[in-house]
């Protein structure tokens, strides 16, 4: 598998082994810098060349191990979001984020950017967890913006229901100085209050633990960060919901892969599919997201 990575004639791409022995793809082109692990097809860093800071937060205590999801960056939660709908023994947020993906395409674009495609197909391990055949194709376009597209193709002979999220962790200067716009008026389920339905009033400010699922929500968002002096635009497609998550102090202290004050420097704004999408045999669906700094 590793040898196949180098078969692509793409000068923007290099492949390294990190200190834990995992394969990491490094894209360094005239427009941006980006790092992607084959483990989980997990993007851990993106920085446009014109920006002063990277867009994504990666926990300084993130664990890089075969059976763990990396804390930070963009974990791919798939084929379900959160707890498995019926079986508590199944991994939270599905298995895509702890599966080993293959690099199936890498090309330099005329605009100076780079496009990668990583693929995950069902195998004996995935079929033990989720007994269906599938192909997942994750396209990562690295320009001044970071564009990702996750396509699920149902290669099974029966219909399936799928869900998930692009669980992006955004880097912020200081959580108290952040405002999230775009969700005013939306109904959300407050997971910290037994899923109570609430209505979002105005912009979101995070001043305590938050774990909210905004339903029927295809809205784009902006993340205004006064401490870093920048605004990030977050646009999405094929998503029925937006999840906003920050563990705050007590949960950060309880999580082995978060530093105690980690919550001050991140917020997750996730493009979700929480209601489940039905796919007939041969059918496919796409979940996509485009993020960029719009003022820096």
Residue 39 as a binder of ligand BG6 (CB under 6 A): the answer is no
Active site annotation includes 167: yes
Q: Compare residues 93 and 171 and give the one whose CB is closer to ligand BG6.
A: 93
Residue 245 as a binder of ligand BG6 (CB under 6 A): the answer is yes
Binding flags for ligand BG6, 101-140, as an x/- string (CB under 6 A): ----------------------------------------
Active site annotation includes 209: no
Q: Given candidates 65, 92, 197, 280, which one binds ligand BG6 under the rule CB under 6 A?
A: 92
Residue 292 as a binder of ligand BG6 (CB under 6 A): the answer is no
Tokens 């202290």, residue located:
253
Residue 198 as a binder of ligand BG6 (CB under 6 A): the answer is no
Q: To 5 degrees, how large is the angle CA 213–CA 201–CA 54?
A: 60
Q: Given candidates 38, 243, 269, 273, which one binds ligand BG6 under the rule CB under 6 A?
A: 243
| Cα 194 to Cα 277: distance, rounded to the nearest angstrom | 24
Q: Which of 35, 167, 265, 292 is catalytic?
A: 167
Q: Compare residues 134 and 169 and give the one whose CB is closer to ligand BG6.
A: 169
Residue 74 as a binder of ligand BG6 (CB under 6 A): the answer is no
Residue 170 as a binder of ligand BG6 (CB under 6 A): the answer is no
Residue 167 as a binder of ligand BG6 (CB under 6 A): the answer is yes
Q: Which residues are catalytic?
A: 167, 270
Binding footprint of ligand BG6 on the chain (CB under 6 A): 69, 82, 92-93, 167, 191, 211, 243, 245, 270
């Amino acid at each position: 598998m590793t040898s196949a990575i180098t078969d692509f004639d793409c000068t923007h791409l290099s492949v390294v082994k990190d200190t834990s022995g995992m394969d990491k793809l490094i894209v360094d082109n005239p427009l941006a810098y980006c790092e992607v692990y084959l483990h989980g097809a997990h993007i851990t860093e993106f920085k446009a060349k014109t920006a002063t800071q990277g867009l994504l937060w990666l926990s300084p205590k993130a664990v890089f191990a075969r059976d763990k999801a990396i804390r930070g960056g963009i974990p791919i939660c798939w084929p379900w979001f959160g707890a498995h709908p019926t079986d508590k023994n199944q991994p939270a947020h599905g298995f895509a984020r702890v599966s080993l993906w293959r690099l199936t395409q890498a090309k330099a674009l005329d605009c100076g950017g780079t496009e990668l495609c990583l693929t995950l197909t069902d195998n004996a391990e995935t079929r033990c967890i989720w007994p269906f055949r599938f192909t997942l194709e994750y396209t990562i376009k690295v320009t001044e913006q970071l564009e990702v597209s996750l396509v699920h193709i149902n290669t099974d002979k029966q219909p399936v229901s799928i869900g998930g999220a692009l669980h992006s962790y955004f880097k912020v200067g200081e959580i108290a100085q952040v405002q999230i716009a775009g969700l005013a008026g939306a109904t959300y389920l407050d997971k910290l209050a037994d899923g109570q339905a609430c209505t979002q009033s105005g912009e979101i400010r995070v001043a305590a633990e938050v774990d909210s699922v905004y339903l029927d929500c295809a809205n784009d968002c902006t993340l205004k960060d006064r401490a870093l002096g920048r605004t990030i635009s977050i646009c999405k497609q094929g998503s029925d919901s937006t999840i906003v998550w920050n563990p705050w102090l007590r949960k950060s202290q309880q999580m082995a892969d978060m530093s105690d004050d980690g919550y001050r420097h991140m917020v997750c704004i996730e493009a979700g599919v929480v209601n489940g999408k039905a796919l007939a045999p041969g059918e496919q669906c796409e979940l996509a997201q485009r993020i960029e700094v719009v003022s820096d």
